[in-house]
Structures are given as structure tokens and as C-alpha cells.
Amino acid sequence: MQNTPDKSIDKYIQGFPENVQVILRELRQVISEEAPQAVETISYGIPTFKLKGNLVHFGAFKNHISFFPSSSGITAFEKELSAYEISKGTVRFPLDKPLPFPLIRKIVAFRVNENLANKK
């Protein structure tokens, strides 16, 4: 299955100030590159990538970008994520600092492998 850009995600991103749109577009691109077979959609009102179930979600808020790689994605990278505010299935990246795209790539790759292994 090929990832086709979801127009509703485009609309979601367009609802934010230009500086936030740039970050969201880059985050979307990074996820797409690491999970090219995933399908984009809106779920829970935020951009979602699905691959044999939910893969990752992301969303913009007043002072941060939330990234939702599931609790397993947080647990597996807890040490690397320690500089950020984390909860069971969420990491919050402050808007005033660059997103750690190399780490996000690793987390997405982990989630891809996990979803593919779990659904066999």
C-alpha cells in the first residue's frame, strides 16, 4: 500500500501560524520517509499514520508539538526522550526548540517494526 497525502492533514496544518506549519510539514515528511507504506488520516482530530493499526499521531498546541508513538515507543526511547516532557504515550516538543528529527526517525522505525511484527 502506498502512502497518499491526506488532504485533511493539509487542512489541519494550514490552521496554524506559518512557523508552526513549517515544523508540522517537516514532521510529516520525516514520518512519511520512515514509514512509506503507512496510510495518512485524521484520527482523534489529529494527523495519524496507520500501518496494521495506529502507528503514530502528532498535533500542534499553543507551546508545543505533541508526538504520540504509543507507550511502547516512549518506553523504548525513554532515556533519549528524558530532555522532554513525556507521559505514557506522548512526548511534548517545545515550539521554541528544534525538533529532534533523528530521534523521531528512530522512534518511527521502531514503531513500524513493532506493528509489522505484532500483526504477523
Tell me whether strands 54-60 and 85-86 are parallel, antiparallel or unpaired: unpaired
pLDDT bin (cut points 50, 70, 90) of residue 3 is: low
User: Is the whole model's pTM more than 0.75, yes or no?
Assistant: yes
CATH architecture assignment, domain 7-110: Alpha-Beta Complex (3.90)
Amino acid at the residue 13: I
pLDDT at 90 over 90: yes
Distances (CA, A) of 110 to 23, 61, 103, 114: 22, 25, 11, 6
- Contact between residue 93 and residue 24 where contact means Cβ atoms under 8 Å apart: no
- Contact between residue 59 and residue 39 where contact means Cβ atoms under 8 Å apart: no
pLDDT at 5 over 90: no
**What are the residue boundaries of the structural domains of the chain, listed by start?**
7-110
Q: Residue 4: what pLDDT?
A: 54
pLDDT bin (cut points 50, 70, 90) of residue 2 is: very low
